[in-house]
Amino acid sequence: MITSIIFSKDRPLQLDLCLSSIYKNFPDSTNNVVIYDHSPEFGSAYKKLTNRYQNVGWWKQSGSIFTDVLTAISSSPHDYICFFTDDDIVYNPAPKIDNSLFGNPAVTCVSLRMGVNINQRRMLGIWRPDLPLILLRASNDCICWNRSLHPYGSYWSYSLSLDGHVFRKDDIYFMMEELCLLESKYQWKQNPNQLESALQRFWTITDAFIVAPETSVVVNSPNNRVSSGISGPDEN
User: Among 41, 8, 10, which Cα is nearest to 228's?
Assistant: 10
pLDDT at 122: 81
Q: Which amino acid is at 105?
A: P
Question: Rounded to whole angstroms, what are the CA distances from 18 to 48, 68, 118, 169, 209?
Answer: 15, 20, 20, 22, 27
> CA 180, CA 90: separation in Å to the nearest integer?
29
pLDDT along the chain (236 residues), means of 10: 97 97 97 97 97 97 97 97 97 94 94 94 84 90 94 91 97 98 95 97 96 96 52 37
pLDDT at 224: 54
pLDDT at 89: 97
Q: How many helices (H) and strands (E) does the chain have?
A: 6, 13
pLDDT at 123: 78
Q: Which amino acid is at 137?
A: R
> Cβ distance 236 to 216 under 8 Å?
no
Q: Rounded to two decimals, what is the model's pTM?
A: 0.92
